[in-house]
Amino acid sequence: MTVSDTQSKALQRIRADVRAMHGYHVQASQGLLKMDTMENPYRLSSDLQKQLGERLGALEINRYPGERQEVLKNMLASYAGAPAGSVVLLGNGSDELITLLALATAQPAQGGRATMLAPMPGFVMYPLSAKLQGLDFIGVDLTDEFDLDVPAMQAAIATHQPAITYLAYPNNPTATLWGEDKVQAIIDAVAQVGGMVVMDEAYQPFACRSWITRMRAEPERNAHVLLMRTLSKFGLAGARLGYLIGPAAIVNELDKVRPPYNVSVLNCEAAIFALEHEALYAEQAAAIRAERQPLIDALVAMNGVEKVWPSEANMVLLRVRDAGRAQAEMKTRGVLVKNVSAMHPKLNNCLRLTVGTREENAQMLAALKESL
């Protein structure tokens, strides 16, 4: 038997749907201005880098993670203003939390498999996690202006009775922060059929409000709501730290499917260090927010840009005549942006741009103008 025959037989043991999938692609970015993944553009000062390095260097990395995770959980609960009776679940980025939620709810439902539901276009990890963990995924189209279609959501919830309903707040890739009354109507609809609502607030540092205030104001009405965030957009994309806040009765059950020691001592300590310097990161978020509207205004005024949507995140969605060509041309000019056209029909010829520093935005705008 040849090597190729042996490998071919081994590959047959991997699920056919997995073999048919495309892996998550990360663009090579060396030597390019990286404006495709909504990262915080600001680095720590040399003094703070030194302090963090000393903290990390003093850790006992020969030992498994321990009680420092409880310190981090308490700090995150305080930072977020968690409601009374809440607990915190840590994840290796919010991507792992999405996986854990799917894993915990992937059980047979009446007439078939458990269901996950979300408005679309939305975060690609929702349908992917459903597929990998054996849930049916139901996507409900947003309106043409990327607002929630509340009647359609309510009808889909009543029909499919999802175990998990995701609401990204603000939404990715549209950067939309939906009205509180519309969001609450969907949360109320889920309550009628039984299930959890996950408010995904990955971009909370750049939004004008958080659902945590509604969870505190009306705890009974939001008793089935979980708040999910990440420190990636906060400024720690490389540290991979996500967290989920919710009622102890629910979160403690989800915690049972969490791999032991899923968050390293290095990630944990880096997050603690960042929260100790919360004011600095708040200043960085404010600086990014201040650059957002000037970027939008410049895009609106640019020839060849057909539409620009409002943003409550550190990204801007726009439509051009040929998004594929524009992305490729911008790359030749040293700037990476995201072409999201293939994600959903409503995103045809749409680009998603990160909001960076004033200098980065100027370079990105110049590259876009030359590429249209």
- CATH code: domain of residue 65: 3.40.640.10
165 lies in some domain: yes
* Model confidence band, residue 247 (pLDDT cutoffs 50, 70, 90): very high
- As a whole number, mean pLDDT of residues 118-126 equals 97
* Model confidence band, residue 31 (pLDDT cutoffs 50, 70, 90): confident
- As a whole number, mean pLDDT of residues 215-233 equals 96
The strand ranges marked E within 25-131 are 33-34, 86-91, 108-109, 112-113, 115-120
- As a whole number, mean pLDDT of residues 162-167 equals 98
- As a whole number, mean pLDDT of residues 38-63 equals 96
1 lies in some domain: no
- Does the pLDDT of residue 26 top 80, yes or no? no
* Model confidence band, residue 125 (pLDDT cutoffs 50, 70, 90): very high
- Determine the residue type at 315: M
156 lies in some domain: yes
10 lies in some domain: no
- Is the same domain home to 241 and 153? yes
- Does the pLDDT of residue 1 top 70, yes or no? no
In the chain, the percentage of residues whose pLDDT exceeds 90 is 90
H-run or E-run covering 335: strand 335-336
Structure confidence at residue 5 (pLDDT): 83
Structure confidence at residue 110 (pLDDT): 66
Question: What is the number of domains present in the chain?
Answer: 2
- Is the same domain home to 361 and 233? no
- Does the pLDDT of residue 109 top 80, yes or no? no
- As a whole number, mean pLDDT of residues 186-199 equals 97
- Is the same domain home to 303 and 365? yes
* Model confidence band, residue 245 (pLDDT cutoffs 50, 70, 90): very high
Name the domain boundary from 276, 302, 337. Answer: 276
Structure confidence at residue 284 (pLDDT): 97
- As a whole number, mean pLDDT of residues 279-291 equals 97
The overall average pLDDT reported for the chain is: 95
- As a whole number, mean pLDDT of residues 34-46 equals 95
Sole residue written with tokens 């200098």:
359
- DSSP alpha helix (H) spans, 198-262: 212-217, 248-254
Name the domain boundary from 276, 307, 338. Answer: 276
Decide if 244 contacts 89 (C-beta within 8 A): yes
- As a whole number, mean pLDDT of residues 158-168 equals 97
Structure confidence at residue 167 (pLDDT): 98
Range of weakest confidence among 12-16, 139-143, 343-347:
12-16
- Does the pLDDT of residue 23 top 90, yes or no? no
- Is the same domain home to 39 and 141? no
Structure confidence at residue 182 (pLDDT): 98
Give exposure, 233-266, as e/b (b: 16+ Cβ within 10 Å): bbbbbebbbbbbbbbeebbeebbeebeeebbbbe
